[in-house]
Amino acid sequence: MRAASCNDSCCAVTGNERESHAYFSLLGTGLARVRHLMQLRRERSQLQTLPDELLRDVGLTREQAQRESRRHFWDDIGWRR
């Protein structure tokens, strides 16, 4: 018995299937980006609630934490501007 290869007609991918795959791939990428931005928003808001001792543990001053927490969630390029 021969294993199916991509050249067999049973494995042929139609144009619609390729478009569908590309659509779902793009959708998955978009959802991952939204999850990342929501996590960033949560982390920045939590910085405001940390006591000074914990901020020192992670190497931040109160001013740095406040500046970072004021950044918009979509501003995710760079750190400590």
Specify the amino acid at residue 33. R
Q: Is residue 43 part of a domain?
A: yes
Q: Kindly report the CA angle at 80 between 74 and 81, in degrees rounded to 5?
A: 75
Distance between CA atoms of residues 49 and 71, nearest Å: 15
Distance between CA atoms of residues 19 and 23, nearest Å: 6
Q: Is residue 17 part of a domain?
A: yes
User: Following CA atoms 34, 38, 43, 47 in sequence, which dihedral angle do they give, to the nearest 10 degrees?
Assistant: 130
% residues pLDDT > 90 (the chain): 42
Q: Is residue 66 part of a domain?
A: yes
Number of domains within the chain: 1
- Report pLDDT for 74: 79
Does residue 81 have a pLDDT over 50?
A: no
Q: Is residue 4 part of a domain?
A: no
Residue pair 44/68 in contact (Cβ under 8 Å)? The answer is: yes
Higher pLDDT, 16 or 6: 16
Q: Is residue 77 part of a domain?
A: no
